């Protein structure tokens, strides 16, 4: 009788963890890796006027064995993104502008694609990281915008 209680005591939490892991919108498991592509972006714009440019990013999440993980909840943020008072960067979920941070979920291939618009030119110079977090996993991609030598368009 005592042995039966011992097994149940440890098996039930294990079943609960496996059930929650299979339900979607989970955090990345321990020892998983998040990768952001591109890993950095360096823009030099010497125009006197500002312009808005678009960059597409792909986030990938793999387990410790390198297998893609579907349905992982991600938190994506940028220090310069809205609602920053400087509003130099705008994050998008599909074609919809969103505030930073925003939540997303990896697809069946362990990936998530999104858009980032940023301002350059007009003398603007700034550097900041685009950050992706899930559980203990973390990755960053640096956005570096410099003015260069001013020219007329």
HEC letters along 6-67: HHHHHHHHHHHHHHHHCCCCECCCCCCEEEEECCEEEEECCECCEEEEEEEEEEEEECCCCC
φ, ψ dihedrals at 149, nearest 5°: -90, 125
Per-residue pLDDT reduced to its tens digit, 14-34:
444 444 444 557 999 999 999
Note the pLDDT of residue 137.
96
Q: What is the mean pLDDT of residues 66-73?
A: 96
Q: What is the mean pLDDT of the chain?
A: 87
Whole-angstrom distance, CA of residue 5 vs CA of residue 7: 6
Per-residue pLDDT reduced to its tens digit, 131-151:
999 999 999 999 999 998 765
Q: What is the mean pLDDT of residues 110-119?
A: 97
C-alpha 93 chain-centroid distance: 11
Whole-angstrom distance, CA of residue 82 vs CA of residue 52: 14
Which residues pair with residue 76 across a beta bridge?
102, 132
Q: Inform me whether the pLDDT recorded for 79 exceeds 50.
A: yes
Note the pLDDT of residue 106.
97
Note the pLDDT of residue 9.
54
Write the CB contacts of 101 (distance below 8 Å, at least 6 apart in sequence).
Answer: 75, 76, 77
Percent of the chain whose predicted confidence (pLDDT) is above 70:
82
Whole-angstrom distance, CA of residue 77 vs CA of residue 128: 10
Q: What tokens does 99 get? A: 């505030």
Q: Model confidence at 98, in pLDDT bands (50, 70, 90)? A: very high
Q: Model confidence at 104, in pLDDT bands (50, 70, 90)? A: very high
Greater confidence, 122 or 1? Answer: 122
Percent of the chain whose predicted confidence (pLDDT) is above 90:
76
Per-residue pLDDT reduced to its tens digit, 34-44:
999 999 999 99
């Amino acid at each position: 009788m005592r042995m039966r209680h011992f097994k149940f005591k440890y098996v039930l939490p294990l079943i609960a963890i496996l059930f929650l892991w299979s339900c979607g919108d989970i955090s990345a498991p321990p020892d998983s890796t998040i990768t952001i592509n591109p890993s950095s972006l360096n823009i030099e714009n010497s125009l006197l006027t500002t312009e808005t440019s678009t960059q597409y990013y792909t986030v990938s999440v793999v387990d410790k064995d390198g297998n893609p993980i579907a349905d992982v909840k991600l938190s994506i943020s940028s220090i310069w993104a809205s609602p920053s008072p400087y509003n130099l960067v705008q994050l998008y979920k599909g074609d919809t502008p969103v505030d930073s941070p925003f939540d997303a979920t990896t697809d069946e291939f362990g990936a998530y694609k999104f858009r980032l618009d940023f301002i350059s030119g007009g003398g603007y110079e700034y550097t900041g990281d685009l950050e992706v977090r899930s559980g203990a996993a973390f990755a960053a991609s640096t956005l570096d915008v410099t003015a260069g030598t001013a020219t007329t368009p």
